[in-house]
A and B are shown apart, each in its own frame.
Chain A
Amino acid sequence: MIDLEPLLLSFEVATLATCLASALGLGCAALLAMPRVWGRELLDALITAPMVLPPTVLGYYLLVLLGRESTIGHAFEALTGTSIVFTRGGVVIAATVGALPLVSKAARAALESVDLRLVGAARTLGASPARAFFTISLPLARRGIWAGMMLGFARALGDFGVTLMVAGNIPGQTRTASLAIYDSVLSGRDADATRLSLIMTVLAMSVLIGVGYLTKQRRDGF
């Protein structure tokens, strides 16, 4: 019988991380898609860094930033009584950091592809910048944004390195599906590893097919 706990944890974490990464990523993308924002390329590089940095480096930074000895970690512990690192919260943060560049890159590209004349037309029709963003840019970019969110979800579902660094591998607490596969292999439970790997593969492939469908639809019509 397969142990469902790591899978369910991965799902829970990926869902939360996707929500967080979407809120953050969309905010950043909206900023980045604006023509005159100081330091936009720096912000973009900062968000994109998780795609190219080794997971250990990223995990190390997060440990330094959020660990129990850090200011943030200290304040969080004083407020809630638990630490951020080596808890479920740490898993979510690790997954969010991984998902963020995928969501924000896709959202930025989608927002930048919206015809500026449509936004201009909205503005001359009395729409404030915020209204033009929510009623014109966002709906027209929605397929690209959805695709980015799905990719972010898939990425969050499978995070390994950063999670291990920041949250460890605590059964029932922080052991996600990816970590459980690693455990199974190490302890010679090949059948478990195979089953979990296959499930993860099917999930990832479904997401990719979904993304392909979304981006293909985009070519006909709007």
Chain B
Amino acid sequence: MVSDSLGDTRLIAELGLRRGDAERAFRLRVTLDFGPGLSVLFGPSGAGKTTILSLLAGLLRPDTGCITLAGEKLFDARAGRDCPPHQRRIALVFQSLALFPHLDALGNVAYGVPGKPSKVERAERAHAWLSRMRVAELGGRYPSSFSGGEAQRVALARALASEPRALLLDEPFSALDQGLANELSAELVDHVDALSLPTVLVTHDRNLVRTLGGEVTLLRSGRVERVGPASELLADLD
């Protein structure tokens, strides 16, 4: 057991999943340990990265294993414990972003504001998050009118406004050009560091891994191949 303060903010998971029939079976068996701050889950498509995020968020149920966040067991196959996604407080930013098309930017961000604040307070908190993501001016506009970067910022604002205990990001900058991706990833690192929130970023993009640095978990065919600093890992791969 590490010290309590450290154990308190970790997202630890042991996940086993089998899908498909004998011919086209997909097997996932991983042990993951993410501390506060940004961790990168890197691997080719089909390695099971998105599946892992769905399992952590509770949108998919593992066959075996357990998930612990901040010392609390969210899932335990043996004990039959399965905390539903809305009680996990793990925000997931989908690759498609999944912004609600029938709500404006403010409505999207306000959706996950926790507790039972008044309507005004809810809107104020949502507005504050939009401002922090530097898209306050989008408040009354709808997702169909957002640019790629704007949509990304609103999605991130929405995730953080729900005051999650962990943040999961699926290929977050894949739809953006390199310049914007770099700018946004730098901002993301700042926010995540400030919140000291376990944050798992999934990507197959080596450039992004290089830009982000930090600790990288390399995933291949449903297994963790290695865990290490980005620079070393990339150097070995090249």
Q: How far apart are A35's CB and chain B's nearest CB, in angstroms?
A: 12
Whether A65 is near chain B, meaning CB under 8 Å from some CB there, is no
Q: How far is the CA of A221 from the CA of B143 in the complex (A)?
A: 10
Q: How far is the CA of A102 from the CA of B162 in the complex (A)?
A: 39
Closest to B114 in A: A126
Known: A125-B158, A126-B89, A221-B144. A140 touches B94 (CB 8 A): no
Q: How far is the CA of A124 from the CA of B100 in the complex (A)?
A: 13
Main secondary structure of the interface of A (DSSP, over half): helix
Whether B13 is near chain A, meaning CB under 8 Å from some CB there, is no
Whether A40 is near chain B, meaning CB under 8 Å from some CB there, is no
Known: A124-B90, A126-B114. A221 touches B85 (CB 8 A): no
Which residues from 91 to 111 on chain A have a C-beta closer than 8 Å to any C-beta of chain B? none
Known: A139-B102, A140-B102, A221-B144. A123 touches B94 (CB 8 A): no
Whether B96 is near chain A, meaning CB under 8 Å from some CB there, is yes
**For chain A, which range describes its interface: under 10, 10 to 19, 20 to 34, or 35 or more residues?**
20 to 34
Known: A125-B111, A126-B114, A221-B144. A120 touches B158 (CB 8 A): no
B102 touches A222 (CB 8 A): yes
Whether B98 is near chain A, meaning CB under 8 Å from some CB there, is yes
Q: How far is the CA of A140 from the CA of B142 in the complex (A)?
A: 14
Q: How far is the CA of A217 from the CA of B110 in the complex (A)?
A: 27
Q: How far apart are B103's CB and chain A's nearest CB, in angstroms?
A: 9
When each residue 55-67 of chain B gets 1 if its CB lies under 8 Å from chain A and 0 otherwise, what string results? Answer: 0011100000000
CB neighbours of A124 from chain B (8 A): 57-59, 85-86, 88, 90-92, 162
CB neighbours of B111 from chain A (8 A): 122, 125, 127, 135
Q: How far is the CA of A115 from the CA of B98 in the complex (A)?
A: 8
CB neighbours of A118 from chain B (8 A): 98, 100-101
Closest to A128 in B: B86
Closest to B93 in A: A121
A136 touches B92 (CB 8 A): no
Whether A219 is near chain B, meaning CB under 8 Å from some CB there, is no
Whether A117 is near chain B, meaning CB under 8 Å from some CB there, is yes
Closest to B111 in A: A125
Q: How far apart are B199's CB and chain A's nearest CB, in angstroms?
A: 14
Whether B172 is near chain A, meaning CB under 8 Å from some CB there, is no
Q: How far is the CA of A122 from the CA of B86 in the complex (A)?
A: 8
CB neighbours of A131 from chain B (8 A): 86
A120 touches B112 (CB 8 A): no
Chain A residues near B (Cβ < 8 Å): 115, 117-118, 120-129, 131-132, 135-136, 139-140, 221-222
4 closest A-B pairs by CB: A125-B112, A121-B98, A222-B101, A123-B85
A-B contact list, 22 entries, CB within 8 Å: A115-B96, A118-B98, A120-B85, A120-B98, A121-B100, A123-B84, A123-B86, A124-B59, A124-B85, A124-B86, A124-B88, A124-B90, A125-B91, A125-B159, A125-B162, A126-B112, A126-B114, A126-B162, A127-B111, A129-B86, A131-B86, A132-B86
